[in-house]
Amino acid sequence: MTAVTGMSSHDAIFGVVGLGYVGLPLAARAAARGIRVVGFDVNPAVAEGVNAGRSHISDLGDAEVAEALGRGLLEATTDMSRLAACDAIAICVPTPLSRTRDPDIGHVLAASEAVAASLRDGQLVVLESTTYPGTTREVVLPILRGAGLEPGRDFFLCFSPERVDPGNEVWKIGNTPKIIGGVTPACTEAGVAFYTRFVDEMVPVSSVEAAELAKILENAFRAVNIGLVNEMALIADRLELDIWEVIDAAATKPFGFMKFTPGPGLGGHCLPVDPHYLAWKMRTMDFHTRFIDVAAEINAEMPAFVAGKVREALNAAGKPVKGARVLLLGVAYKKDVDDVRESPATAILELLARDGAEVSYHDPYVSRWQARDGLALTSVALTDDILGETDVVVIVTDHTCFDFERIFRLSRVLVDARNATGSIPGGSTTADAPRRWIVKQT
């Protein structure tokens, strides 16, 4: 039926547009299964790094890139005209929000136009970038049709959302079931046939819109449930209860309950961003996404709540916020990664700095942090003296490598936004209350 389905893995050339946290691991996985991959990126430094055998993605080691290069199965380029030689093309470019929190699909448009400029008979094109339902059919398809070819007959167009979970050592691209939907049944068939070569399980759905919505449902589900448990955390704080004790008790129910935990706020590309894509789309259809919007509001309040706990701890110690030394532990948006996109640490820093606090940070994964416009910080060494001299230590990201017993023991005042010290015996809080957010007060 197509050039893609009719040739062996060794004959097919797979073009991956965008060599970020989605595209580069995808390229490496396909190369590991014997598929020749050409990676495309607009950043020359990225292409040069890959061609030198270096990975700039924390979840992918240099060895995997170097091995693929050594076997002649991976190369990177900025030359988009080489897309014409590819039998299958995956678009893995960023889909951020604009300053007004509306979808910014500029990268998708640029990538689609580059593909259209070289589109030929038999090519498979797959959009993997998370976006609102309708993007593939209403935005990408018209651009590709400009080449004079028809989907399902001359070329094949699908949406197959990325399901990358940075820092997850178990679920990777190869063993995570992969959703795919085409603009025609023939497109879906072609997409399944190609991805089956390096993904263990494919999940075909009836349309590109179903695949697009499934991806946003996954992330909205998490965002809404995190919003619920964050609101419960605020409620428990007002009631002077330990929210983590309450959650652990509820989690003993063997049915009807799924455990989520509170934290300092949402971060990363997916959870703080993707639900807004759906909300924007539905506003164009005169529909209000109430759950999604409320959850976003609650989650956005959590950095202010944590900053408030820092102020509360300082007040209890008889020290003003202005001039206080505050140390943030972890500024990545989740444990064991180096990704600071949308990290709640940024808002916590801004709130405390606005009050005059002297804020520093330590993160073994983030040596330098562009915290905000005009402010770049360098990670400080986590010495005994730093811990002992800091007025308030704040656990924002619970990296596995942190020695939380040492941090708890040496800190004068400790605010724990992740319950990372919850199992450590000893210590006290104000008025001998159960440990909640301010877990140590001297």
Active-site residues: which are they? 270
Of residues 44, 46, 49, 27, the one with CA closest to residue 36: 27
Nearest to 166 by CA among 399, 401, 421, 420: 399
Half-sphere exposure in the Cβ direction for 179 (13 Å, CA): 23
| Residue pair 34/8 in contact by the 8 Å Cβ criterion | no
Q: How far apart are CA 38 and CA 83, in angstroms?
A: 8
- Per the CB < 8 A criterion, the answer to whether 145 and 26 are in contact is no
User: Cβ neighbours of residue 283 under 8 Å, at least 6 residues apart?
Assistant: none
The residues, ordered by sequence, that sit 6+ positions from 103 with a Cβ below 8 Å of its Cβ are 95, 97, 131, 132, 276, 277, 280, 281
Give the Cβ contact number of residue 193 at 10 Å: 18
Assign 3-state DSSP to the chain and report helix, strand, coil percentages, each to 5.
40, 15, 45
208 CB-contact burial (10 Å; exposed 0-12 / middle 13-18 / buried 19+): buried
277-283's contacts with Cβ under 8 Å and 24+ in sequence apart are: 277/95, 277/103, 277/130, 277/131, 277/132, 277/216, 278/132, 278/133, 278/213, 278/216, 278/220, 280/102, 280/103, 280/132, 281/103, 281/132, 281/133, 281/134
Angle subtended by helix axes 243-250 and 208-238, to nearest 10: 120
